[in-house]
Amino acid sequence: MSFCLYIFFHDRAHPGARLSAAEHERLDAVLRGVPGLARALVHTPAQAHDPLLDDGAPPQLVLQLYFDALVALEAAGGRAGPLQALAQPDVLPTLAGAAVEQQAMAVRRYAVPEPARLAEPWCTYLVAYEGPAEDPHAWLDDYLAQHVPLMARLPGLRELEVHTPVESVCHLPWARATCMQRNKVAFDSPAALSAALASPLRHEMRAHYKALPRFAGGVTHYPMSTRALAVG
């Protein structure tokens, strides 16, 4: 099993704020200096049409940082860890007013019928279930057994992951998110994501969603433009 550290930068007061090329370069330099980082995905806002949902403006920046060992993830976010540099105001000044959250999660990857090597930038739909569930084990059991197979049938789907929380030691200066589950589904483009969300299968998914074990909190769905940073 691998692990993923999510870091979200969301400035709701300035939804149109975007990182400059220089900020992306500084971000990449920080991430390349993280020992044990197996994969780094950099997500910025994209536009796709969901006929059933609209959760507003997406975060300006989401980082998904994958590690093969939890101790490596913890070291990256340690008191003297390299990710502390992201909190320096001169690294990402555009996001100086953003609310920042982080969460460490375990990664479950699932096979999809049409996997393909994704060309950058591709489109990712990031989904978060805030929770908690009344019965966390019943929720996850039902979701993985019934909902994931439905998601895997979405037309044009290239990647499918379900992430669940893990306890970790972290000294990053940001709030810890407490979502009970996150999903990542990837498509070739915003148009491909929009087509999948408009497919008849989506209504099957919504029907099953309404039959899932009860949980509190909301659910968010954000379309993001994704690039992978070469690491290691």
The domain ranges of the chain are 2-229
Which residue type is seen at 212?
Answer: L
What does the pLDDT look like over 29-38, one tens digit per residue?
999 999 999 9
What does the pLDDT look like over 62-86, one tens digit per residue?
999 999 999 999 999 999 999 999 9
CA distance 30 to 50: 34
pLDDT band at 117 (very low <50, low <70, confident <90, very high): confident
What does the pLDDT look like over 139-185, one tens digit per residue?
999 999 999 999 999 999 999 999 999 999 999 999 999 999 999 99
Helix pair angle (201-211, 190-197), 10° resolution: 70
Phi, psi of 83 (to 5 degrees): -75, -15
pLDDT band at 125 (very low <50, low <70, confident <90, very high): very high
What is the pLDDT, as a whole number, of residue 231? Answer: 81
- DSSP symbols for 25-85: HHHHHHHHT-TTEEEEEEEEE-----SS----SPPSEEEEEEESSHHHHHHHTSTT-GGGG
In whole numbers, what is the pLDDT of the chain averaged over residues?
96
What does the pLDDT look like over 191-209, one tens digit per residue?
999 999 999 999 999 999 9
What is the pLDDT, as a whole number, of residue 232? Answer: 66
36 φ/ψ sector (left φ>0, alpha ψ -120 to 50, else beta): left
Q: Which CATH class, in words, describes the domain spanning 2-229?
A: alpha beta
Given a cut of 70, whether residue 4 has pLDDT beyond it is: yes
Given a cut of 70, whether residue 213 has pLDDT beyond it is: yes
Given a cut of 70, whether residue 135 has pLDDT beyond it is: yes
